[in-house]
Amino acid sequence: MLKENKLDFSVVIPAKNAEKTIERCITCLLNQSYPKKKYEIIIVDNNSTDNTVKKTKNFQVKVFLNKKKGAGATRNLGVKKAKGKIIAFIDSDRFAEKNWLEEAKLFFETNQNVNVAAGKIVLDNYSLIKKAIFLAKMDQEFFIENGFAATCNMFIKKKTFNRLGGFDERLFITNEDVEFGERAKAFGEEIILLEKAIVSYNPRPIWKYFKNEFRRGRAISHLLFLKKKGLGYDFPKVHKTFNLVKTVLFHRKYNFFELLFFLIINGTGKLICIFGKLSEDCCLLMDYKKKN
């Protein structure tokens, strides 16, 4: 059995109903240019109702089951089981390029004072609507400037993760990664964009994007509720500020129609997010009245 920290990396993949993508995700990780004896792959299933777990059986990976709700608790369990010095988070619908771990290792060797890094995220294939959804979700430079690293492609030293206390499992709806980034920044951690550690993905259908925005609104309500109770950190700036001007003026690689679709999709998403927040505010208020 491998001892703790004898491995360079532990790749942690939270998975829920990922039967359509999990095999490709694992295959990309097993085909890394990095020596296989220096990293492990950990999959944590979060109550899947499809064939996700069954499809992992043909691969040399470690699989654990998490019965708690939420991606935060799922990732925390993965880190608890990890034996590597650096945790490499990737989602089950993301596909790592062959040199993903190799570039991350080189980065941390060159920047030994850095403890957290966000890898680059690109589109797997292009269409007008998918590119607009990608624009609406992924202004990575802006996110990182404001202390947020997307957990679908994030590297963090295990000792740093443990020092920060892991993901807040109370935020089981979503936004646990945003809160974690804000907490890391409060603890003095700088998050750096690792341009050469690339994962690709195929954006979900537009209705799933809007569904996620509704969930995000509910999560925002929970974050503000925890802050009022003195149990959370300041509300992340990444969700206070919509970087519209920068997107329109400086994303010159996108044409007029792509930007138009972006504005429509993003604007609709923001309205749905607000509606999600208001609905959760009402639920929390009703719950408060029942208890008092």
CA–CA distance, 41 with 23 (Å, rounded to integer): 13
Q: What CATH superfamily classification does 7-291 receive?
A: Spore Coat Polysaccharide Biosynthesis Protein SpsA; Chain A (3.90.550.10)
**pLDDT tens digits, 3-34:** 556 899 999 999 999 999 999 999 999 999 99
pLDDT in tens, 134-176: 554 555 555 555 556 788 899 999 999 999 999 988 775 556 7
Question: First and final CA of the chain: distance in angstroms?
Answer: 53
Q: What are all long-range contacts of 225-230, with beta carbons under 8 Å and residues at least 24 apart? A: 225/284, 226/170
> In the predicted model, is pLDDT for residue 240 greater than 80?
no
Residue 246, pLDDT above cutoff 70: no
**Once rounded to an integer, what is the mean pLDDT over residues 180-204?**
86
Comparing 112 with 247, the larger pLDDT belongs to 112
Question: Is pTM, for the whole model, over 0.95?
Answer: no
Strand partners, 194: 119
